[in-house]
Amino acid sequence: ENIDIQKSNSLKKKVAEEKRQRDHILQLNQILAKQVMEKSKMVAGMRAKD
């Protein structure tokens, strides 16, 4: 009985931790995508000037 409670608690913690990590990775991906877009706009702008 008690072991089951501990198991489910640690499982919940694990799931919550994985969700937190996934959210973090998603945020990083969005930041990265923004930077890439800005960079390619800059490159496109520089090419247009040539």
- Give the pTM: 0.66
Q: What pLDDT sits at residue 38?
A: 96
Under DSSP, the state recorded for 50 is -
Q: What is the pLDDT of residues 9-25, one digit of tens each?
A: 999 999 999 999 999 99
Q: What pLDDT sits at residue 4?
A: 93
Q: Which two tokens stand for residue 12?
A: 């919940």
What residue spans define the domains of the chain? 1-50
Using CA atoms, how far apart are residues 22 and 14, in angstroms rounded to an integer? 12
Q: Which of 38, 1, 6, 8 is nearest to 46 (CA)?
A: 38
Per the prediction, the chain carries an average pLDDT of: 94
